[in-house]
A and B are shown apart, each in its own frame.
Chain A
Amino acid sequence: MSQPSPPILSVRDVHRRYRRARTSLFKPPSEVPAVRGVSFDIQPGQRFGLVGESGSGKSTLIRLLAALDHPTSGSIEFEGHRISGQPERRLGFLRERLQVVFQDPMGSLDPRMRVRDIIAEPLVAARKPTPPDRIRELLTAVGLPDDAGDRYPHQFSGGQRQRISIARALSTRPSVVVADEPVSALDVSVRAQILNLLADLADEYSLTLVFVSHDLSVVRHVCDTIAVMHHGELVEMGATTDVYDNPQHSYTRRLVAAVPTLRRALAGVSAAELARAVTAADPEEDEQ
């Protein structure tokens, strides 16, 4: 692959093993390999989708990408600077350039802070000025009214809280936004609003988007590249249309087969057929 521009994020043979709690005085504690030998590049402006089921290691991987955790071995570079294994004092630039939007907006917004202060907090942490104009501009960008800044998170609905999280993520003018299941906790009608907003903002601010989800149809809509994780390994990666329409790995085939869609259901695909398709895609993997 000869890319004209260098990758914005570069992951090389990254492993992350966690230690289980000790079960015996005399034996070493057992280890859980959460991420096993993952390598990939993310180009500037790319919309990179990371798909996997619970326990696949996708959450561990994004914690590593955001340098909230460090790999057991391997390296991660952001804009050419090594971020893996670096102490927090060397990661100031990353905290400005890369921001995260979490799944549960209630768990990631401090209930005792006003929205204005929540949005300004990344700037405060970076010892940057926080002009009131900037807060208003951010609120407008995510479609919240000006007076929202004076209120507290509990006064907002789930979708509006996710808008607050997004405004906070944009405050430092990052180049990369990592969104970890940003719409999983939202209702259908609100989910579409937030997905549209993320797409608009990615265009407007030329963001690189790393979008993590268990929902293949959502990732397919948002992303141009899909990476599929399974048991801590990256089993398949490629352009969205290729991966979705012509999955190569048996696990990806399973995943694609398992997703119920309205179109398929109205065409008469029953639950029994779905279950059969899942088993047929990869009989060995089936947990029964």
Chain B
Amino acid sequence: MNNQIAGPSTPPGAGIPDAAEPALRVRDLRVGTDNLDLITDVSFTLAPGERVGLIGESGSGKSLTALALLGLLPEEVKASGSIRLSEVGFDVVGASERQMSKVRGDRMAMVFQEPMTALNPVMQVGDQVAEIMLLHRRQPDRRAARRAAVEMLAKVRLPDPEGAARAYPHQLSGGQRQRVVLAIALANDPAVLLCDEPTTALDVTVQAHMLDLILTGVAERDSALLFITHDLAVVATVCERVLVMYGGRIVESGPIDEVFTRPRHPYTRGLLDASDMDAVDGRGRLHTIPGTVPAAGRFPDGCVFRNRCAHATQQCVQVPPLEHKGARAHACWHPVEEPT
């Protein structure tokens, strides 16, 4: 738009040794209410074009992280730390609604789980795609935006894009609606695309096509992708790197093929075992993680996983730091042994 959105900022790329500026840099993100921490010490970066998965069970803080990135936290919930987007002169944490509305749908966009609630039911879908381009002045006028919208709908492979542009959301199937949501998200070539369980409500055959479209979309634009899901198989299909979240903390991170074959955190190990429907113990039973995810604020002090962990000791009363080793990191006093 214009340059009035420059804030108190460090020059882009400051303090990063390599030349490429990350598309998104999150430092020490903390989200919570006055007396309850919901997300603690979350730090990560996304390079342009990088595909990163954020996994964990419900109540682990994945979706709240996405809302914090978009500056969409509920009133009573506050964030601290820093969230920096490339080519955006201010910090998302503490940014005004006016500043954020220029970023959302432009530099950063999101695909939600439920396409029916993400779309306006009384507006033709073509106009909804055109609207996002007009709002951010990416198209000079209504007609050009409408043309571009039909092109976007064709790119997400909606059959008969001209006709589809005139359809209302209820006239489309679940998979088609989610394609429209993706078209809106990609319309302004965002630097960062957030996807929160984008295929959970879809049938598997439709899911396969949707995942393909998301990947093609981000690859064409060199956008960074943050893909939130509870489905380990999906994340392994889509992403290169994974962040495992539990109790509002990142407990393990690293390249997918390493984390999923040689996990270091007992929670990651447990998740992998529990989702493998082919692996059973001697009595033909699936592997489980004992207990359930506690409600927010009921996680134990120290290591958040210690009340469900078979290896927990007295030491686990202390919060384990996220120890980095090469591309990988884990926060555990008694990590799962590396097989030799």
Contact = CB atoms under 8 A, between A and B. Distances in A.
Interface of A: 53-54, 157, 159-160, 187-193, 195-196, 199, 214-218, 220-221, 254-255, 257-266, 269-272, 274-275, 277-278, 287-288
Interface stretch (B4-12, B122-130, B286-294, B331-339): B286-294
B270 A262 contact: no
B175 interface: yes
A188 to B, nearest CB: 5
Contacts of B289: 189, 192
Contacts of A260: 207-208, 211, 231, 233-234, 236-237
A189 B288 contact: yes
Contacts of A191: 274
Given A189-B271, A274-B211, A278-B209, A265 B236 contact: yes
A260 B260 CA distance: 15
Contacts of B174: 54
Given A262-B260, A265-B236, A255 B204 contact: yes
Interface in B163-210: 173-175, 203-209
Interface residues of B, number: 49
B286 A221 contact: yes
**Top-5 shortest CB links A-B:** A265-B236, A189-B289, A271-B211, A275-B212, A53-B203
Contacts of B272: 262
Given A54-B174, A260-B236, A274-B208, A266 B57 contact: no
B58 interface: yes
B237 A269 contact: yes
Nearest to B293: A187
Contact of A54 (B157, B203, B288): B203
24 contacts: A157-B292, A187-B58, A188-B57, A188-B271, A188-B275, A195-B286, A214-B203, A214-B204, A218-B277, A255-B205, A258-B204, A258-B207, A260-B208, A260-B233, A260-B236, A260-B237, A261-B233, A262-B260, A262-B276, A264-B237, A265-B237, A272-B216, A275-B212, A287-B173
Contact of A187 (B211, B230, B256): B230
A71 to B, nearest CB: 25
A188 B268 CA distance: 12
Contacts of A160: 292
A196 B261 contact: no
Contacts of B17: none
A262 to B, nearest CB: 5
A221 B279 CA distance: 9
B326 interface: no
B274 A188 contact: yes
A271 B215 contact: yes
Contacts of A270: 215, 237
B159 interface: yes
B286 A196 contact: yes
A171 to B, nearest CB: 24
A241 to B, nearest CB: 12
Contact of A190 (B157, B158, B238, B292): B292
Contacts of A199: 284-285
A288 B277 contact: no
B105 to A, nearest CB: 24
Contacts of B28: none
B205 A188 contact: no
Contacts of B285: 196, 199
Contacts of A288: 157-159, 209
Contacts of A218: 277
B232 interface: yes
A258 B205 contact: yes
A199 B278 CA distance: 15
Contacts of A216: 204
